[in-house]
């Protein structure tokens, strides 16, 4: 056991399991999420795949260790698994672990819980096949974070992007392989549309100082929420979920009747009943709180239902 596990580093809360923790804790420095651990990446000039993964001489991530009992001698017939060498380049580590290297991955901007390694681990890992995802904080120009004008499948009100020409927003970009991208698509559609943003129109500055030419972004199909009292347009996203739901409940007797009286009752009712989610989403619109984002939706649409996308994506199911 190392000290680099999600739990030991304070990333235990998964919004899909604990809705009021949405959006979860995001990473704040370049990281490789792998086998339920976070391994540090060091930004260097050049492609992401050349950035070194920091590990200790034994192949484990650097950091203080706790005293552990002496392990039993491995049986001769059980070969030790291959482990990354100290400061091995990212692409070499991914290849050694049996995952696609960065040239075969897609940069995807997260504005909500996809910036949380715990949420990505939950979405992408399966028994015997843990996710391996490079995650990098990036400054994105022209995009800000609001609240999607719908109630998500787990009962919370998720984040969604909106255009803000003067914004310089710290966001997280994850490099997903084809299988991972399809899995995330399935959790986002039909409430979000994956579009391709140009780095010329929306500059994306890496911590190495380089700029990305383009990246994917999930845009809310229903736009973003304005504040119930009209003081904020759009309503800021990515903050405390309980405070957000309390504010929305206070602004609408219809929402209080459907979902109240408090945030816990909201996520309980909405998380267990699709009809309640649909009705709550309809109330957002009828209260006049929604602000469409046609400029973002105008960008090239990729993924399910889109004109462009990796083979097989159009065949994905689109759960509510």
pLDDT at 2: 56
Q: Which residue, 199, 194, 200, 162, is CA-closest to 181?
A: 194
As a whole number of angstroms, the distance between CA 226 and CA 287 comes to 10
Are 116 and 25 a contacting pair, CB within 8 Å? yes
pTM for the model stands at 0.85
pLDDT at 43: 96
pLDDT at 130: 84
pLDDT at 1: 42
As a whole number of angstroms, the distance between CA 160 and CA 290 comes to 12
Query: 57: helix, coil or strand?
Result: coil
Mean pLDDT by 10 residues, the chain (320 residues): 83 94 96 94 95 66 40 52 70 95 98 96 85 97 98 97 97 97 94 97 96 97 94 93 97 97 98 98 97 92 60 30
C-alpha 44: how far from chain center = 24
Tally Cβ neighbours within 10 Å of residue 162: 23
As a whole number of angstroms, the distance between CA 171 and CA 224 comes to 18
pLDDT at 31: 97
Q: Which residue, 269, 238, 234, 262, is CA-closest to 248?
A: 262
Q: Can you point out the beta strands (E) in 10-131? A: 31-34, 37-40, 52-53, 88-89, 106-110
Q: Output phi, psi for 96, to 5 deg.
A: -60, -35
> Helix crossing, 263-272 with 274-286: angle to 10°?
120
Q: Which residue, 52, 5, 8, is CA-closest to 30?
A: 52
Q: Which residue, 284, 306, 22, is CA-closest to 153?
A: 22
């Amino acid at each position: 056991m190392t000290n680099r596990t999600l739990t030991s580093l304070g990333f235990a809360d998964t919004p899909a399991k604990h809705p009021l923790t949405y959006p979860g804790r995001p990473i704040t420095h370049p990281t490789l999420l792998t086998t339920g651990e976070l391994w540090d990446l060091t930004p260097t000039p050049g492609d992401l795949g050349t950035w070194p993964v920091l590990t200790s001489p034994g192949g484990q991530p650097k950091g203080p260790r706790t005293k552990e009992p002496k392990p039993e001698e491995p049986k001769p017939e059980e070969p030790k698994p291959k482990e990354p060498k100290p400061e091995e380049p990212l692409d070499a580590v991914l290849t050694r672990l049996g995952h696609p290297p960065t040239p075969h991955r897609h940069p995807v901007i997260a504005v909500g819980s996809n910036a949380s390694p715990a949420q990505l681990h939950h979405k992408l890992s399966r028994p015997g096949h843990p996710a391996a995802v490079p995650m990098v904080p990036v400054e994105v120009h022209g995009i800000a974070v609001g609240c999607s004008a719908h109630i998500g499948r787990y009962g919370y009100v998720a984040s969604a992007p909106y255009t803000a020409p003067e914004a310089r927003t710290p966001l997280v970009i994850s490099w997903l392989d084809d299988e991972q991208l399809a899995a995330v698509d399935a959790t986002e559609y039909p409430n979000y549309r994956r579009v391709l943003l140009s780095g010329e129109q929306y500059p994306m500055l890496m911590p190495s100082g380089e700029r990305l030419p383009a990246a994917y972004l999930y845009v809310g199909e229903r736009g973003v929420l304005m504040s119930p009292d009209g003081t904020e347009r759009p309503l800021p996203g990515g903050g405390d979920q309980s405070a957000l739901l309390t504010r929305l409940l206070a602004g609408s007797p219809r929402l209080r009747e459907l979902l109240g009286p408090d945030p816990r009752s909201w996520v309980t009712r909405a998380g267990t009943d699709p009809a309640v989610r649909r009705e709550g989403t309809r109330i957002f619109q009828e209260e006049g709180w929604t602000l469409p984002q046609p400029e973002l939706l105008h960008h090239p649409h990729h993924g399910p239902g889109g004109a462009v996308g990796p083979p097989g994506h159009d065949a994905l199911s689109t759960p509510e």
